[in-house]
């Protein structure tokens, strides 16, 4: 299977992990939520697959472009 690395679109704080490692996701399903400037921005699955890794934790500060999750497709 191929892997796809998912990166944060904005800098901010991880407020919620919606799909933990092992979860199956469909396109546009949220994987985690980043709070930036009082807005919640979801990191969504671009394609269907299985979350093979979450590389951040709730409460972590993240940078724009940071590798946050890996999706097995």
Q: In order along the chain (73 residues), what is the average pLDDT of each group of 10 residues?
A: 94 98 98 97 97 98 98 96
Residue 16's nearest CA partner among 71, 56, 65 is: 56
Choose the CATH number for 3-72 among 1.10.4190.10, 2.40.50.100, 2.40.110.10, 2.40.50.140.
Answer: 2.40.50.100
Task: Name the phi and psi angles at 21, rounded to 5.
Answer: -55, 135
What residues does each domain of the chain span?
3-72
Instruction: Name the pTM for this structure.
Output: 0.92
The pLDDT score that the predictor gives to residue 1 is 75
The pLDDT score that the predictor gives to residue 48 is 97
């Amino acid at each position: 299977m191929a892997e796809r690395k998912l990166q944060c679109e904005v800098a901010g704080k991880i407020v919620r992990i919606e799909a933990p490692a092992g979860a199956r996701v469909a396109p546009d399903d949220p994987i985690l939520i980043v709070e930036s400037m009082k807005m919640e921005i979801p990191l969504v699955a671009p394609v269907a697959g299985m979350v093979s890794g979450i590389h951040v934790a709730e409460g972590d500060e993240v940078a724009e472009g940071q590798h946050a999750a890996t999706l097995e497709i």
